[in-house]
Structure 1
């Protein structure tokens, strides 16, 4: 019996850079597990959509699918959108078993990815000194999701022995520009911003723009198709696949 297929399910964006990044992440994941059937899909705004991919897998003979939501926080999309599309798919395909895993989340291992991306940005900007950091995330109307970002920011700051502020592109203060200005008001002049986004798009672009306008010395690229992110996708898949095994 074939192993369950894996669908890496992203939210989707009108920005083509976002879909390209998801595609690159899926290719990185496939390279680690060439024995698995791994597909990408989007909830909205990009193709292929979730139902198209499910139909393709059913036609190929798959009876079990593990869905890994490519989301960094457990908020509305994870709690509402993902279960809804899975319920619709199982209604359309009686007998099909689909298991959604936990979201990618804010793993401590992603601090390594943040550091890699930030080092790239600092080299490009020829910056060698830092006295504060800002961790920029999308932001959510769910305060628990924002608190999770703030906890990761504290962990990151403790690792580097630097003050860190979490900032948000939407739904919650402070914005990245506000966070940078607050540090500058304390006399800090070498402030870098790390982008806690999976892929490029309008929110990370806006966060970067505000940070640079406020005086940040560098802003990193999003996490992207980093091997550590791919390994996390496979770790989520492994748990989901076990949960599909009949007891």
Structure 2
């Protein structure tokens, strides 16, 4: 019996860089597990959409699918959009089993990716000294999602023995520029911002713009297609595939 198919499900964006980055990440996953059927899908705004991917897998003979939501926080998309999309798919295909895993979330291993991207940004900006850090994330109307960002920001700051502030590109304060200005008001002048986003798009661009306007010395690129992120996708899949096995 074939292993369940893996669908890496991202939100989607009008920015083509976003879907290109997601597809590059999924290519990393495929390279690690060439034995699996692995597909990229999007909830909205990008192609291919989730329903058409499910239809294609069913046509190919798959009756079990593990969906790994490529989301970093347990916000609206994770709680509402993903379950709704899965419900729609299973209602259209009798006998199809779809298991959604936990979101990617905020693995401590991702801090290594943040560090790598920030080192790249610091090198490009020829910055050698830092006295504060800002971790910029998407932001949510769900305070628990924002608290999760604040927790990993504190962990990241502890690793570097630097003060750190979480900042948000939407839905919650402070914005990246406000976080940078707050540190500058304390007399800190070498403030770098890490982009805790999976892929480029409007929100990371806006966070970077505001941070640089406020005086940040460097802003990193989003995490992107990195092996640590690909390994996290496969770890989520492994749990979801086991959960599909009848007890």
User: Counterpart in 2 of 1:27?
Assistant: 27
Is 1:201 matched up with 2:198? no
Is 1:147 matched up with 2:147? yes
User: Counterpart in 1 of 2:36?
Assistant: 36
SS of the equivalent of 1:13 reads coil
User: Counterpart in 1 of 2:171?
Assistant: 171
Shift of 1:102: 0.3
User: Counterpart in 2 of 1:104?
Assistant: 104
User: Counterpart in 2 of 1:72?
Assistant: 72
SS of the equivalent of 1:99 reads strand
Instruction: Give me the whole-angstrom Cα distance separating, in 1, the residues matched to 2:200 and 2:127.
Output: 23
SS of the equivalent of 2:12 reads coil
Shift of 1:8: 0.2
User: Counterpart in 1 of 2:116?
Assistant: 116
SS of the equivalent of 2:165 reads strand
Shift of 1:143: 0.1
SS of the equivalent of 1:223 reads coil
Shift of 1:232: 0.2
Shift of 1:168: 0.2
- Spell out, residue by residue over 1:29-59, the C-alpha distance to the aligned partner (whole angstroms, 9 max, x if none): 0000000000000000000000000000000
User: Counterpart in 1 of 2:229?
Assistant: 229
- Spell out, residue by residue over 1:166-216, the C-alpha distance to the aligned partner (whole angstroms, 9 max, x if none): 000000000000000010111100000000000000000000000000000
**Normalised by the size of structure 1, how large is the TM-score?**
1.00
- Spell out, residue by residue over 1:60-102, the C-alpha distance to the aligned partner (whole angstroms, 9 max, x if none): 0001000000000011111111001101101100000000000
Instruction: Give me the whole-angstrom Cα distance separating, in 2, the residues matched to 1:179 and 1:42.
Output: 32
Instruction: Give me the whole-angstrom Cα distance separating, in 2, the residues matched to 1:80 and 1:173.
Output: 23
Shift of 1:124: 0.5
* Structural RMSD (CA): 0.4
> When the two structures are aligned, how many residues end up with a matched partner?
247
SS of the equivalent of 1:83 reads helix
Unmatched 5+ stretches in structure 1: none
Is 1:56 matched up with 2:50? no
Instruction: Give me the whole-angstrom Cα distance separating, in 1, the residues matched to 2:180 and 2:75.
Output: 26
SS of the equivalent of 1:98 reads strand
User: Counterpart in 1 of 2:132?
Assistant: 132
SS of the equivalent of 1:165 reads strand
- Spell out, residue by residue over 1:204-238, the C-alpha distance to the aligned partner (whole angstroms, 9 max, x if none): 00000000000000000001001000000000000
SS of the equivalent of 1:158 reads helix
Is 1:189 matched up with 2:161? no
- Spell out, residue by residue over 1:93-113, the C-alpha distance to the aligned partner (whole angstroms, 9 max, x if none): 000000000000011111001
